[in-house]
Amino acid sequence: MSGEMARNEAGQFATTRSPADMLGMMEPSEPYTARELAEKLGWPRRTAYKLLSDLAKQGTIRRKKTGHRTVIWIRAEEEDHS
């Protein structure tokens, strides 16, 4: 059936969304919400939130809670290695 998502060897849906796609949308030091990035990428908000959480656990981006239910995500400034 065409239009069906591909599955991996374990039978789970294979993702075509990567952390690199997410990072490519983020300017260093700019705050973003998961909803904002999800809309820019055309992804479900939950998918964006999961990838952002994974990136924060790796130390690639920072997570900051700004309100009762509001979280922003910030990509660190790129270091100058000259």
Percent of the chain with pLDDT over 90: 61
Structure tokens at 8: 């991996």
Structure tokens at 46: 């939950």
Q: Which of 71, 81, 79, 69 is nearest to 28 (CA)?
A: 79
The reported pTM is 0.74
Q: Angle, to 10 degrees, between the axis of helix 45-58 and the axis of helix 34-41?
A: 120
Tens digits of residue pLDDT in 4-38: 555 667 666 555 778 888 999 999 999 999 999 99
Looking at the domain 19-75, which fold is it? Arc Repressor Mutant, subunit A (1.10.10)
Tens digits of residue pLDDT in 30-63: 999 999 999 999 999 999 999 999 999 999 999 9
Is there a contact between 19 and 60 (Cβ–Cβ < 8 Å)?
Answer: yes
Please report the pLDDT score of residue 4 as a whole number: 54
Please report the pLDDT score of residue 14 as a whole number: 52
Domain ranges of the chain: 19-75
